[in-house]
Amino acid sequence: MKSTVYNPFETARQQFDHAADLLELDNTTRELLRTPMREYHFNIPVRMDDGTKKIFRGFRIQHNDARGPAKGGVRFHPLETIDTVRALSMWMSWKTAVADIPLGGGKGGVICDPHHLSNSEQEQLCRGWVRQIVRNLGPNIDIPSPDIMTNAQHMLWMLDEYETIMGGHFPGFITGKPTGLGGSLGKKESTGYGVIIAIREALNELGLKAANTVASVQGYGNVARYAIELYQKMGGKVICVSCWDEEDHKTCAFRKKDGIITEELDSISDVFGGIDKHKARDMGYELFSGNEWLSQEVDILIPAALENQITMDNVNNIRDSVKLIAEGANGPVSPDADKILADKGIFMIPDFLANAGGAISSYFEQVQSNMNYYWEKDEVLGKLDVKMTSAYAAVSDFAKENKLSMRDSAYVISIDRVAQACRERGWV
Ligand code: NAD
């Protein structure tokens, strides 16, 4: 069967158009919000360890900053495309709005595969990325953060480059920094924990207890890892995870019917969330092709790897046992597959609500950085819970009042907030 190719920006625009129709948004506001405010495309030269020079392509897109400085991650990925970055920047605008934090939406990326780059090459990429757009970044302009295959070390190199050029300390320039160097406690857990806080609220509505549920997770990176941690603390059981297998260049799923053990998998995984399959097999995990994470007999599915993972090609592999899907990743479900899931009666927590915890804790980190006063971890996680719970309640209440899906409700609330800020500023 020929698989369908999805363009994430087309998906993001289709979702936007649908919500704009529901909101009866005027044409000028639609035009403003359908297209990013600003795009930067640039080359980053890097001296490779073998002495040769290589040019990498980098991007930064600021979709909308009417509600505050643009905010969003920087991804390092070999298959990065400008349309993926555009879609992700738009989703960031909706995410900061639905979480009701005073920030806009942005996203960045570099086409590269850090698996095959030394530390020195990665450092040059980070510094080069900042140098190309330094005047268009800053605590009051645009605040980057980590995303796929970027981490606290990358953020620190970027911060150091920014501070060297600008002369001074600007820890509010970037989030996801190492703790002790401007990072916030609780930051690394925040996206995954936020996904589970949203699941906790959804399970309450569905009359289910986490302790009586079983889940399968796509990914074993930052989002997936901490989602699993909090879900297990609440008594839930995860029987399957999947990840990219760099050795065979395909995905691989790992199953333990009694429940996966994070301490075991942590001891055999790399910084990119890849799990060593040979060691996993020795530890008693069953190994399958990567798509198998989707066809497990579970109550909850958490796609927490990449966009476009549940599509018309595989949506019918989802078992009837599944009651809830929480989109940990951005855009993991295609719009046509989304309709089938709704027809099946599966409750969906949409991406920019489910994974808003990362943006919320980034905001907390920026506040702490700007004050130069840092909160205890419990305080950060407590504030995260308050923000996630109230964002979830607003979306759920509006959905019920207006007979909308959770996705439509989240879109209508957030687009309305951004549109209102644009109107009040006199942009439309
Ligand atoms: P990560 O790089 O830490 O982990 C990604 C995981 O996905 C790894 O386990 C990797 O092996 C796996 N993976 C990669 N390609 C895959 C494929 N083709 N099939 C199956 N698995 C694959 O990334 P992350 O930070 O956990 O982000 C995951 C998703 O969540 C992304 O969509 C990202 O944009 C989104 N997100 C991340 C954050 C955050 O705070 N990190 C916040 C919001 C949204």
- CATH number of the CATH domain containing 342: 3.40.50.720
- Ligand 1 atom 37: the closest Cα is on which residue? 147
d(CA 346, CA 280): 32
Q: Give me the count of residues in the chain.
A: 428
d(CA 95, CA 64): 12
The tens place of each residue's pLDDT in the chain, 428 residues long, gives 445 667 889 989 999 999 999 999 999 999 999 999 999 999 999 999 999 999 999 999 999 999 999 999 999 999 999 999 999 999 999 999 999 999 999 999 999 999 999 999 999 999 999 999 999 999 999 999 999 899 999 999 999 999 999 999 999 999 999 999 999 999 999 999 999 999 999 999 999 999 999 999 999 999 999 999 999 999 999 999 999 998 999 999 999 999 999 999 999 999 889 999 999 999 999 999 999 999 999 999 999 998 889 999 999 999 999 999 999 998 899 989 999 999 999 999 999 999 999 999 999 999 999 999 999 999 999 999 999 999 999 999 999 999 999 999 999 999 999 999 999 999 99
CA of 242 to the centre of ligand 1 (A): 11
Residues known to be catalytic = 107
Torsion sign over Cα 144, 146, 149, 152: positive
- Ligand 1 atom 4: the closest Cα is on which residue? 221
- Ligand 1 atom 15: the closest Cα is on which residue? 244
For residue 68, what is the domain's CATH number?
3.40.50.10860
Residues with Cβ < 8 Å from 375, sequence gap 6 or more?
Answer: 184, 185, 364, 368, 383
Hey, how many other C-beta atoms are within 10 angstroms of the C-beta on 402? 11
* pTM as predicted: 0.94
Q: Which of 225, 272, 306, 361 to mutate to test the pocket of ligand 1 (most atoms within 8 A of CB)?
A: 306
Ligand 1 within 6 A of CB of 221: yes
Number of structural domains the chain divides into: 2
Distance (Å) of CA 92 to CA 21, 108, 387: 20, 11, 16
Residue 239 shares a structural domain with residue 137: no
Residue 164 shares a structural domain with residue 231: no
Residue 45's domain spans which residues? 37-170
CA of 79 to the centre of ligand 1 (A): 13
**Angle at the Cα of 196 (from 327 to 254), degrees rounded to 5?**
70
Amino acid at 5: V
Ligand 1 within 6 A of CB of 216: no
Residue 317 shares a structural domain with residue 264: yes
* Structural domain includes residue 177: no
Nearest ligand 1 atom to the CA of 332 is 32
Token pair recorded at residue 2: 């020929």
Residue 312 shares a structural domain with residue 225: yes
CA of 420 to the centre of ligand 1 (A): 32
Token pair recorded at residue 327: 């989109």
Choosing from 324, 349, 374, the residue where a domain stops is 349
